[in-house]
Amino acid sequence: MTKFCFSRFVAAALIAISGAALVTASFDAEARRAGGGSSVGRQSSNVTQQRQATT
């Protein structure tokens, strides 16, 4: 009886972990489709270069 309860607990834990992994993967895919925050920290392409000071 104890072995049956333990194997049932292990099966339930694996299902819960698999479900959480699938939910996390779908959120990651949605974030990538929406841009994934890739513009954070990226320099704008229209930034002008500063001239060096003449001495």
Domain ranges in the chain are: 1-53
The DSSP H or E segment spanning 42 is: none
pLDDT at 15: 96
**More confidently predicted of 53 and 37:** 53
pLDDT at 18: 93
pLDDT digits (tens, 9 = 90+) for 3-52: 778 899 999 999 999 988 887 776 666 666 666 555 555 556 666 667 77
CB 8 within 8 A of CB 1: no
